[in-house]
Amino acid sequence: MNIQEYISSGIVESYVLGLASNEERIEFEQLSETHAELRQAREAFEISLEQHALDNALAPSAGLKQKIWSDINLGQVTAPAVNIRPDNKTQPFAPVRSISFAKFLAAASIILLLGSTLLNFYFYNQYKSSAAQLNELIASNQQMASNSNIMQTKLQQYERSFEMIKDTNMAVVAMKGQAVAPQGLTTVYWNKQTKDVYLLINSLPQPAAGKQYQLWAIVDGVPVDAGLLETNAPVAFVKMKNIPKAQAFAITLENTGGNKTPTMPIYVVGKT
């Protein structure tokens, strides 16, 4: 078969316009597979036909697109004026629309419910973690407050110590280490008015178990008990017994609980 003759026979136009018989159509499609020029001729006619149709287009009625969209359930494309118009033409569609609107509402409410549940869960978790954080903050605040109380107490102690040192009525008796404790050093602050005695341990050896340091006031050559030093006494001034009169102070190591008379040797001693 001469393909050019075939192309110019009018079969191309007949095929494209849908006027070819079944046999002609099958033959055309088979020949198209093997002859590029036949496909090109077909396409050229199709394009000119399409161009002509586009050039001769007539605008369809404005509401038609809306109707088509309703038919294929794509939803509304433009303002849903058709929903409110009690027009006979829209009647057949009305139930369909109301069902789909009810479905839409149902779907929307389920989505809202799910959303709300998720939000509730989210906010509940937020609340729980906030509450936990608040408890932590309260605890840490209490800790700070108690630390602050401790600091306040310490500060007050230091302030009192400082006031004592500053006090012009205070006599200072430095007590030097003796043979058993050459590095030993303690200081007695003795208020001449109130006769109160405060002891500051600058340095003393750690007492053995069951032993305790005891302060003595030497009054007219006789040692008078001036108080026991607690093993774990604070570093600051320790208030001892009130001593009206003394020529010297001395410390000995005694059995726990103290002694009525000192046991030798003397650890530290100082004259007033």
Partner 1 sequence: MNNTVTYNEQELVLSLKAKDQQSFSYLYDNYAGALYSIVLQVVPDKELASDVLQEVFVNIWRKIESYDPTKGRLFTWMLNVARNLAIDMVRSKAYQNSQKNQSMPGSEYFDKGGLSTQLTVDNIGLKKIVNKLKTEHRILIDLAYFKGYTHEEIAEIESLPLGTVKTRIRSALIQLRDHLK
- Type of residue numbered 208: A
Distance between CA atoms of 239 and 226, rounded to whole angstroms?
Answer: 10
Sketch the per residue contact string, 210 through 229, with partner 1: x for CB under 8 A, - otherwise.
--------------------
CB of 104 to partner 1, least distance (A): 16
CB of 18 to partner 1, least distance (A): 5
In the complex with partner 1, the residue whose CB is nearer, 15 or 267, is 15
Q: What's 83's DSSP letter?
A: H
Distance between CA atoms of 176 and 190, rounded to whole angstroms?
Answer: 17
Stretch binding partner 1 (CB under 8 A), from 48-56, 205-213, 240-248, 263-271: 48-56
CB of 31 to partner 1, least distance (A): 12
Kindly tell me which residue out of 47, 81, 112, 134 binds partner 1, with binding defined by CB under 8 A. Answer: 47
Asked if residue 30 binds partner 1 (CB under 8 A), the reply is no
Owner of token pair 């609980």: 257
Kindly tell me which residue out of 4, 40, 48, 120 binds partner 1, with binding defined by CB under 8 A. Answer: 48
Q: Find residue 248's DSSP bridge partners.
A: 218, 271
Phi, psi values for residue 267, rounded to 5°:
-85, -50
The residue among 2, 24, 3 whose CA lies nearest residue 13 is 24
CB of 121 to partner 1, least distance (A): 34
Contact by Cβ (8 Å): 240, 227: yes
Count of residues engaged in binding partner 1, rule: CB under 8 A: 40
DSSP alpha helix (H) spans, the chain? 3-6, 12-16, 22-34, 36-55, 64-71, 81-84, 94-166
Phi, psi values for residue 60, rounded to 5°:
-75, 170
The strand order across the sheet containing 170-177 reads 222-228, 211-219, 248-255, 266-271, 170-177, 185-191, 197-203, 238-239
Contact by Cβ (8 Å): 265, 178: yes
Asked if residue 10 binds partner 1 (CB under 8 A), the reply is yes
Sketch the per residue contact string, 54 through 93, with partner 1: x for CB under 8 A, - otherwise.
x-xxxxxx--xx-xx--xx-x--xx---------------
Kindly tell me which residue out of 42, 198, 217, 240 binds partner 1, with binding defined by CB under 8 A. Answer: 42
In the complex with partner 1, the residue whose CB is nearer, 45 or 167, is 45
CB of 37 to partner 1, least distance (A): 16
Kindly tell me which residue out of 1, 53, 208, 209 binds partner 1, with binding defined by CB under 8 A. Answer: 53
Distance between CA atoms of 34 and 39, rounded to whole angstroms?
Answer: 9
CA distances from 141 to 81, 131, 134, 148 (A): 65, 15, 10, 10
Asked if residue 37 binds partner 1 (CB under 8 A), the reply is no
Site residues (vs partner 1, CB under 8 A):
8-14, 16-19, 21, 29, 32, 42-43, 45-50, 52-54, 56-61, 64-65, 67-68, 71-72, 74, 77-78
